[in-house]
Amino acid sequence: MGRDQGRIADVTSGAEPGTTGGHGTLRGIALKIVSVAVFVGMQTCIKAAGDVPAGQIVFFRSFFAIFPIIAFLALKGQLPTAFVTKRPFNHVARGVVGVGAMGLGFFALTRLPLPEAITLNYAQPLLVVVFSSVFLGESIRVYRWSAVAVGLIGVLIISWPELTLLNSDEGLDDQEVLGVMAALVAAAISAVAMLLVRNLVQTEKTATIVLWFSSTASVLSLLTLPFGWQSLTPVQAALLVMAGFCGGLGQILMTSAYRHAEASVVAPFEYTSMILGVVVGYFIFGDVTSLNTLIGGAIVVAAGVFIIWRERQLGLERTRTRKVTLPQG
């Protein structure tokens, strides 16, 4: 979703498995939907705070997210070992990439209508497929390549009104053009961050990845201080603090969702953020969703759901193959 392109929620792909029975699946879906709503609430707070430097937003989003996460881990008895790692440089590298994506994503969020900012971030899972093939050498079959191509056409449809401004003398807001470009670059960088997370989850616990990222992002964002942090009004400060807490709470809820149900079941409910974005954008910010965003968003969502379904089918095939090749005894 378009909430936080360098989002900590990426680590849910490596969440520890939990119960996946009937009640567990329904609980997982419910937790996912609530987490999506909380993340949209986070975006709403950031957008309502107005034109705040992206680095400053990253600091509030990262630093204040730590508190609910620490409280949750303390209740679970996992806090003492949460920071322990043998791969600190990998965590820092993931933090650097993630902060870049997050900063660009927040820049886009403050310059675009909320539904458009959310929908453009749906390009991220499509780009993960592309980058997995290019950088990791993963075998991607024609079905997923076709879904990626269709999905990127949807992204182009969403972006087209702003991209055509580059060759136009019409006076629509140049900030929207910059917002679209920032959102697309953020989605690409976020896809790279996802690949780094895939590597980390092979040896690291979810809690470790979450806390290292939040801490690294908080420190790195402070490096943007010389580039124009501004004094905040009490309302702006409260909104950004609330955004941070929502980010941490959303991560907890999302991680729990993936523990109660399979990723292929839970993941499609990510796209409920589009509906929430349209509603919140209209009633709070007066954003009227364009036809391009609705049509392009529907295409991107369909492509994303197909990729998730295809991953599930391939996973079932691999499971059946392993069962057949296991020695019988």
| Pair 97, 196: CB distance under 8 Å | yes
Greater confidence (48 vs 197) lies with 48
**Predicted pLDDT of residue 6:** 39
Q: Provide the angle, in degrees to the nearest 10, between the axes of the packed helices 123-136 and 291-325.
A: 40
| Pair 43, 3: CB distance under 8 Å | yes
**Tokens encoding 179:** 């917002």
Greater confidence (169 vs 27) lies with 27
**Tokens encoding 305:** 């759901």
209 SS3 class? helix
* CA 225 to centroid of chain Cα atoms: 25
Tell if the pTM clears 0.75, that is, is over it.
yes
Which of 141-145, 244-248, 287-291, 303-307: highest mean pLDDT?
244-248
| Pair 123, 184: CB distance under 8 Å | yes
**Tokens encoding 275:** 């509906």
**Tokens encoding 93:** 């590298």
pLDDT at residue 80 greater than cutoff 70: yes
| Pair 103, 58: CB distance under 8 Å | yes
pLDDT tens per residue across span 176-207: 888 999 999 999 999 999 889 888 888 888 88
**Predicted pLDDT of residue 95:** 93
Q: Measure the CA angle with vertex 94, ends 116 and 44; round to 5°.
A: 30
CA pair distance 93, 71, nearest whole angstrom: 26
Which has the closest alpha carbon to 109: 176, 157, 9, 34? 176
CA pair distance 98, 12, nearest whole angstrom: 15
**Predicted pLDDT of residue 166:** 53
- The residue written with tokens 């991560």 in the block is 251
Look at the alpha carbons of 175, 111, 98, 261 in this order and tell me if their dihedral is positive or negative. negative
Mean pLDDT of all residues belonging to the chain: 84
